[in-house]
Amino acid sequence: MTTTLDLAGLPLTGRVITDPARVASFARDEAAGAPHGFPSAVVQPADTTDVARVVAYCAERGVPVVARGAGTGLSGGANAIDGCVVVSFAAMDRVLRIDPDERLAVVQPGVVNDRLRAACAARGLWYPPDPASAPWSTIGGNVATNAGGVCCVKYGVTRDYVLGLEAVTGRGEIVRLGRRTAKSSAGFALAGLLVGSEGTLGLVTEITLRLRGERAREHTVVGYFDDLPSAGRAVARVVAKGVEPSALELVDRSCLRAVDEWKHMGLTDGGNVLLLARCDAPGAAGAEEARTVLACFEAAGATWSARSGDPAEADALFAARRLVYPALERLGLVLSEDVCVPRTLVPEMLARLERTGERNGVHIAGLAHAGDGNLHPMLVVPRGDERALARGRAVLEEVVDQALELGGTVTGEHGVGLLKMRGLARELSPAALELHRGIKRVWDPAGILNPGKVFAA
């Protein structure tokens, strides 16, 4: 369907971009190889009224609308559709309120995660969700995909911190959902429904977030292992002991080497697989938790393990973990997965990753939020090699199938977007998929909000 757009005729406070060269930069997110189209225009709204006017205009004409944060997504959820209007929230980037008494923050969707965390820390408060993209990704994008991060093993994901939302539905209606009170039994939990909906139900224009008090001191434990299954067994031992670390991260040798070649940190000197754990229970309990984790590492066959007594060294190790993805990007096109399995099955899933790589003659790089079973297996393929891209995607589809066989899920925190739709159709029953589609029809009767993504017919 071809429609002539006259967005310049709308009474918008924000900016409308139609120059093809500039519009092209809004066409896709960071999902390698995911298809994308070309937008007819990009709108950078100044407020919720702008968003409502654009959505209502597009609904009347059947024009697709794709919401966009910082474009750091890894599943194609923010990729443009030919002729669509991309609504970029870059200009709606204010922290509207931080309330230390109620321990909440009210923000616009374009606020960068790390900026919010810094603003909260200045008031003695903490916003826990910390995806690896926290220095660049926005709260609106985090809400769209229900982002997690390093500390979600103990403190939960974005959905656990969203108290309320303002959003624009597919009709162009402005709705306020959720509450700012400590609890409520009034109606369905519609705010939670929007978290993780990837722009298919509504465009979020304001978010009220629950905050925590300042963090206790963290104790860091480091362990090196010969192989992935050994490291997986260490994770299983920690889980079995009932310890609740604030972080439990796994990084394999190929990831360590990529960071070393870039930053020269000597990470590969210790062994083939690195486990990083942190414990932050208050007082002496934190130190005791760290001792238990260290004992689990040693019992699982760590080639070297220790408690880090140097906070700067510990922070550097976790910073290196966050550098893995950009380090691998220097080597080629990074294909990344985001499966999650039951925590006790992490050793089995890691062993399956090794066997899958061997069977296909490739190395699957291992990176994981191991403490909650969220694995990010990755392949690096040459840029511009379409055959290698197709082979890599096929290998990662095998990984998705294996995670589902173990009772896992196709995405722990990246979202379904375009790349996980086949897996989601396997994970959910036809009846459950139809419930999703029915909900979308209520919120978006014209079918214009991010069509063709997630659970499309």
Q: Note the pLDDT tens digit of each residue in 383-441.
A: 999 999 999 999 999 999 999 999 999 999 999 999 999 999 999 999 999 999 999 99
Same domain? 247 vs 351 = yes
The model's pTM is 0.94
Same domain? 268 vs 130 = no
Alpha carbons 378 and 336: distance in angstroms, whole number: 4
Q: Of the candidates 184, 213, 242, which is a domain's last residue?
A: 213
Domain that holds residue 323: 219-405
Strand, helix or coil at 279? strand
Q: Tell me, what's the pLDDT at 456?
A: 76
Same domain? 310 vs 334 = yes
Residue 329 resides in a domain = yes
Instruction: State the virtual CA torsion across 227, 330, 260, 274 in degrees, nearest 10.
Output: -30
Same domain? 175 vs 312 = no
Q: At what angle do helices 228-240 and 346-360 cross, to 10 degrees?
A: 170
Query: How many CB atoms are closer than 10 A to CB 299?
Result: 12
Structure-block tokens of residue 426: 């396997």
In sequence order, the β-bridge partners of residue 126 are 212
Structure-block tokens of residue 191: 């705010």
> What sign has the CA pseudo-torsion 337, 189, 446, 51?
negative
Residue 104 resides in a domain = yes
Alpha carbons 305 and 294: distance in angstroms, whole number: 7
Same domain? 208 vs 225 = no
Same domain? 165 vs 294 = no
Residue 18 resides in a domain = yes
For 339, phi and psi rounded to 5 degrees? -80, 155
> What contacts 408, CB < 8 A, 6 or more positions away?
339, 340, 341, 342, 345, 349, 373
Q: What is the pLDDT along the chain (457 residues), one digit of tens a residue?
A: 445 678 878 999 999 999 999 999 999 999 998 999 999 999 999 999 999 999 999 999 999 999 999 999 999 999 999 999 999 999 999 999 999 999 999 999 999 999 999 999 999 999 999 998 999 999 999 999 999 999 999 999 999 999 999 999 999 999 999 999 888 899 999 999 999 999 999 999 999 999 999 988 899 999 999 999 899 999 999 999 999 999 999 999 999 999 999 999 999 988 999 999 999 999 999 999 999 999 999 999 999 999 987 888 888 999 999 999 999 999 999 999 999 999 999 999 999 999 999 999 999 999 999 999 999 999 999 999 999 999 999 999 999 999 999 999 999 999 999 999 999 999 999 999 999 999 999 999 999 999 999 987 6
Query: Which of 144, 134, 352 has its CA nearest to residue 228?
Result: 352
Alpha carbons 339 and 132: distance in angstroms, whole number: 16
Alpha carbons 106 and 52: distance in angstroms, whole number: 20
β pairing state of 85-88 and 41-44: parallel
Residue at 284: amino acid letter: A
- b/e burial code for range 328-362 (CB count within 10 A of at least 16 → b): bbebbbbbbbbbbbebebbbbbbebbbebbeeeeb
Q: CA neighbours within 13 Å on the CB side: how many for 180?
A: 14
Same domain? 205 vs 61 = no
Q: Of the candidates 61, 88, 115, which is a domain's last residue?
A: 88
Alpha carbons 76 and 34: distance in angstroms, whole number: 6
Alpha carbons 54 and 92: distance in angstroms, whole number: 15
Same domain? 143 vs 228 = no
Residue 447 resides in a domain = no
Q: Tell me, what's the pLDDT at 5?
A: 78
Residue 423 resides in a domain = no
Residue 356 resides in a domain = yes
Q: Tell me, what's the pLDDT at 1?
A: 40
Burial class, 238, CB count within 10 angstroms (exposed 0-12 / middle 13-18 / buried 19+): buried
Same domain? 227 vs 206 = no
Q: Tell me, what's the pLDDT at 216?
A: 85
Same domain? 229 vs 376 = yes
Same domain? 208 vs 239 = no
Counting the structural domains of the chain, the total is 3
Per residue, what are the HEC states of 359-408?
A: HHCCCCECEEEHHHCEECCEEEECCCCHHHHHHHHHHHHHHHHHHHHCCC
Q: What is the CATH number of the domain that holds 113?
A: 3.30.465.10
Q: Tell me, what's the pLDDT at 4?
A: 62
- The predicted-structure confidence for 319-345, as pLDDT tens digits, reads as follows 999 999 999 999 999 999 999 999 999
Q: Of the candidates 389, 405, 421, which is a domain's last residue?
A: 405
Residue 380 resides in a domain = yes
CA distances from 266 to 71, 217, 271 (A): 32, 26, 11
- b/e burial code for range 133-142 (CB count within 10 A of at least 16 → b): bbebbbbbbb
Q: What is the CATH number of the domain that holds 380?
A: 3.40.462.10
β pairing state of 304-308 and 219-225: antiparallel
Contact predicate 414/145, CB 8 Å: yes
Same domain? 248 vs 287 = yes
Residue 53 resides in a domain = yes
